[in-house]
Structure 1
Amino acid sequence: MQAFVRDLSPGSRRNRFFRTLHELPQPLLEALTRIDYRTHMALVAEVCDGGAGTVVAEGRYVIDAGGGSAEVALTVGDGWQGLGLGGLLLARLVAHARAQGLRRLHGQVLPANRAMAALARKSGFTIGRDPSDPGILRIERALQGAPASTRPLQAA
């Protein structure tokens, strides 16, 4: 995870963490890598070359204290953006959250992050101003109906 973040451009790191950083501080690294798969679900996309895997995208949600909703976040490596990988990861997170009985996903997006806002909109999220910070966009999606497909992610 640390190598993935280091390889992101400064703009991509800012879009994901809302601040400029070169690498993850230890407490944040631990929070992002200690997944319990009950209240914190994370998915990564890797490419394998010679047996070694390299993370090229990650997505996650963390269930809110009330238990009915979760905050979602997504990052795609700079060289992999625009290829549909973010949409696949987001669809998987939505399907998993729905299957777990969550009623809503929400997240925060910087207004300059037009690609994420467009992906969220295309994926059924509404976009508005975050009530806690008018300089941030809030994305939300209700999770109703039958679970979406959970077919394995595979390269085309």
Structure 2
Amino acid sequence: MDLAIATRPVQPDDDERLRRLWPRLSRDTVYRRFHAPLRRLPVEAVRRLVRVDHDLREAVVGVVGGEVIGVARYDRSPSDPSTAELAIVVEDDWQGLGVGRQLLAELTRLAAERGVAVLTATVQPDNEPVLGLIRRLLPDSTVTPDGDVLAVRSALPRP
């Protein structure tokens, strides 16, 4: 695979690219990202993915050949804007090639520049690729059991 992956903030016209990404995700990838066996991406979910203000809500996409192959996003907590929840998904054929690392690095840089001090995430206990990615990029993260998932909390270094 050609590893010329461009990362950039999501744009309003990415909605169709995100719709085309969906069928390229395996059921396992969908389940790990959404914690549910979704069969289709609801239209409102696509709208929410592309309608960001690039401050309280941000999304960064990985693009190859004009197609979105991955998305990393954060949503700030309404009660504490210095904390934001992150999520990431990478197309199956591109997993294990550094796309997630590139997306998460860009997202954490943007978050820190905008005053986010802590990133949180909910991860399934057997999602070793994401847990490993978090350990490598955010080594001071704490991971604690929270029911049947893991709660991740990562302080961001100041820019």
Shorter-chain TM-score category? 0.7 to 0.9
Gaps of 5+ in 1: 148-156
Match of 2:150 in 1: 137
Q: Distance in 2 between matches of 1:3 and 1:111?
A: 28
User: 2:106 is matched with which residue: 74, 88, 92?
Assistant: 92
- Give the aligned partner of residue 118 of structure 1: 132
User: Aligned Cα RMSD in Å?
Assistant: 1.2
Instruction: Quote the offset at 1:26 in angstroms.
Output: 2.0
Q: Provide the rounded CA distance (Å) in 2 between the counterparts of 1:27 and 1:38.
A: 20
So what's the TM-score if we normalise by structure 1?
0.84
Partner residue of 1:127 out of 126, 138, 143: 143
Paired residues of 1:107 and 1:139 also in contact (CA < 8 A): yes
Q: In 2, are the aligned partners of 1:45 and 1:55 still within 8 Å (CA)?
A: yes
| Aligned-residue identity in percent | 33
Higher relative contact order (CA closer than 8 Å, sequence separation 6+) = 2
User: What pairs up with 1:45-84 in 2 under 5 angstroms?
Assistant: 45-48=62-65, 53-65=66-78, 66-84=80-98
CA contact (8 A) 1:8 1:77 kept: yes
**Counterpart position of 1:153:** none
Aligned mates of 2:104, 2:144 — CA distance in 1: 19
Uncovered stretches (5+) of structure 2, i.e. residues with no partner: 1-17
Cα shift at 1:68: 1.0
Structure number with the higher helix fraction is: 2
Aligned match for 1:12, one of 29, 36, 48: 29
SS in 2 for 1:37: coil
**Distance in 2, Cα, partners of 1:2 & 1:18:** 19
Between Structure 1 and Structure 2, how many residues are aligned? Answer: 139
Matched, 1:27 2:44: yes
